[in-house]
Amino acid sequence: MQVIRDRAKLREATARLRAGGKRLGLVPTMGALHQGHLELVATARQAADAVAVSIFVNPLQFAAHEDLARYPRDEAGDLAKLAASGCDLVWMPDVATMYPPGAATLIEVAGPSEGFEGAARPGHFRGVATVCTKLFGQTGADVAVFGEKDWQQLQVVRRVVADLDMPIAIIGHPTVREADGLACSSRNQRMTPDQRALAPMLPAEMRRALTRIAPGAPHEAVLAEAVAALAAAGFVPDYLSLVQPDTLQPWTGGPGRLLAAARLGDVRLLDNMPLG
């Protein structure tokens, strides 16, 4: 497994991996890898001949008041996990390599970036779209795999790829969960033991609400009850909304996606589930 931090060496390495028409898969990450990330690597391996993983804590995704400095980092542990997973290449640029002095281009996305995380974290999806566009260009990957836990992010990336005619396929991998149902996330390790014990209530309330939503029937009251139950237990809910899966517009029937965000202490939990 190659670990590369220089753009020129990255071009050489990816050219070798793609020689002879071989397909390269990419798994973009910010490190602090868990089982969910490793399953993304496995999916990329099935879709391509070689797999690259990027590890870059992207400052453009964080607002001034957010937790960039506190974001968990474990370079040695991450590299050990990736080596054991069969990863071929790890791209680990620093901030100056990713955003050289004088860089002046950002990718702005409307549509699926509006509302929800886009409203709660202004500029967040601009950072996601910009860094993913750069990663796709830097690696020349044929396919990239993203977890469905960050459902809105996945739709934003798909929109950018479609709108900019990028020659890369985007694969969404179903949310990987802990044994108690909590979605795997690097931020889970920041919870206290009491918070971690309470956290599975979020997916449990989401599943309960989905079982009570009847086709064509009003669903707002069901979601309001779930929000009230979470708040009573100690969560600070941000939203619990049923939307159209691709556009994230309000659900009007047919396929739907239930999006959720809630805080426990200073940890913000995200989750989503399909209707039906």
Active-site annotation, residues: 37
Q: 223 near 231, Cβ under 8 Å?
A: no
Distance CA 118, CA 265 (A): 21
For helices 35-47 and 75-85, angle between their N-to-C axes, nearest 10 degrees: 40
**CA diameter of the chain:** 59
151 alpha-carbon distance from chain centroid: 7
CA distance 47 to 103: 33
- Please state whether beta strands 169-173 and 236-243 pair in parallel, antiparallel, or not at all (unpaired): unpaired
The DSSP secondary structure of 146-169, one letter per residue, reads EETTSHHHHHHHHHHHHHTT-S-E
CB half-sphere exposure, 239, CA atoms < 13 A:
15
- DSSP assignment of 38-67 equals HHHHHHHHHHSSEEEEEE---GGGS-TTS-
Residues 61, 64, 67, 71: what is their CA dihedral angle, to the nearest 10 degrees?
50
The structure tokens listed for 228 are 């009230």
Chain length of the chain:
276
